[in-house]
Structure 1
Amino acid sequence: MTFTLLGEPAAIDLLNTLKTAHTPAVDQLDAPGALAEFWRFQSERDPSITALNAEDTRSLRTLVGALIQAIDEGSAPETPVLTAANTILHAAPVQSYLSVRDGHLHVEYTTTARTAEEATRAKLILSALELSDAAAAGRLRHCPAEDCSQMFIATNAKRRWCTAAGCGNRARVSRHAARARVSTRPTR
């Protein structure tokens, strides 16, 4: 299984495993080995993240999606969403600290969760909450391609597409084809 887009904050990576631009929606985690591949990728980026089972992963994705939607819309999440997120965070008390990676200051988190699964759930909730800064800065974006539902953090002001090689390239080819059709029409 090759995911369309990985490498965004963990919460966005999880949300992007459900392609909602298709009818019916396509769950990339349904592909053989995809669930294990997703969690392997996340744990390579953050060794404190552990794999969750399919049911827990999908449940967490729904919760993270509701949080991200509220952040993206600049609204408060519904009470059940807030309650569920707080339940996860209470089960895995978090302590923050500062670190320097790649010459930049980062806020890191440790947890005193009883299980690795509780810690993973808390990390994904925190990943979603951290997106409020990107949303406020206008960097939390949806890919504008009609057949794409991917979200991403724009690392520069010009980034428009989830991937330049995928959606961006299809848009360029489409514009080129449209110009070619116009230029080859006979004039009267």
Structure 2
Amino acid sequence: MALEFVGTVRAVRSGLVDTLADVAGMTAWGRAHAAELGIGPDFTATEELRREVVELRQAVRALFARAVAPAPPSSADAHRLPGFAEALALVNAAALAVPVAARLEWPEGGVPAARNVPADGADESARIRAVLASAAIALLAGPDRERLRVCPAPRCVLYFIKEHARQEWCSTGCGNRARAARHYRRHGSG
């Protein structure tokens, strides 16, 4: 969840795209992740909620940048990230604002699973931010932090978890673009 959250800033051919740039984008992203966020399928974001979630995302991206150091951070927004202490405080405050409890989920015909969800009583923005902050904390405090990388492919700004020793890029597409760019730098286009 934390990787999907920070991946709401990504690069396309025309430049950077921020999925959470407006209320409609935040609403669509929230609905697409409703189960993980503990919200209903009819979720509709407000501008205030969107701003709070984006502020949290920038804090998580700052912590990811620190986690991949001394490698460079994602070039998407490194110049706009909050300082480390501010980011750490914001993520911790968001996670602590809403208590979480284990909930048993047992889909028809499926296997039971436990999932931590925010306790009721807090407002929707606080609950969403608590889930996202807790996911970031789990990733950064767990063994995956050592495998967290920034994709070095041209124009890519994503963070990813390195799944095997030879993995260099976030996706096959990025690997292909990086190899093609290297080929054209060495041999020219003609």
Give the alignment's TM-score, normalised by structure 1: 0.65
SS of residue in 2 equivalent to 1:95: strand
Contact 1:95 1:111 in 2 (8 A): yes
**Residue 154 of structure 2 contacts residue 178 of structure 2 at CA under 8 Å; is this kept in 1?**
no
2:26 is the counterpart of 1:35: yes
Displacement of 1:30:
3.2
Q: Deviations over 1:106-140 (max 9, x none)?
A: 8731322423332211110011112222454x321
Aligned to 1:146: 154
Contact 1:95 1:109 in 2 (8 A): yes
Matches within 5 A, 1:12-161: 12-19=3-10, 26-30=17-21, 33-44=24-35, 46=36, 48-49=38-39, 52-53=45-46, 54-73=50-69, 77-78=84-85, 80-96=86-102, 108-114=115-121, 115-132=123-140, 133-136=142-145, 138-161=146-169
Distance 1:88 1:149, change over 3 A: same
Give, in angstroms, the shift of residue 162 of structure 1: 1.7
Contact kept, 8 Å, 2:94 with 2:126, in 1: the verdict is: yes
Task: Give how far 1:180 is off.
Answer: 5.5
Q: Give the distance between the partners of 2:93 and 2:21, measured in 1 at CA.
A: 27
Work out the percentage of aligned pairs sharing the same amino acid. 27
Unaligned ranges ≥5, structure 2 = 71-82, 107-112
Question: Which moves more between the two structures, 151-160 or 31-40?
Answer: 31-40
In 2, the alpha carbon distance for the partners of 1:84 and 1:179 equals: 45
- Residue-pair matches, total: 166
CA distance in 2, matches of 1:89, 1:179: 48
The structure whose Rg is larger is 1
Residues 171 and 21 of structure 1, relative CA distance in 2, 3 Å threshold: same
Equivalent residues of 2:37, 2:128 under 8 A apart: no
Q: Which runs of 5+ in 1 are unaligned?
A: 1-8, 101-105
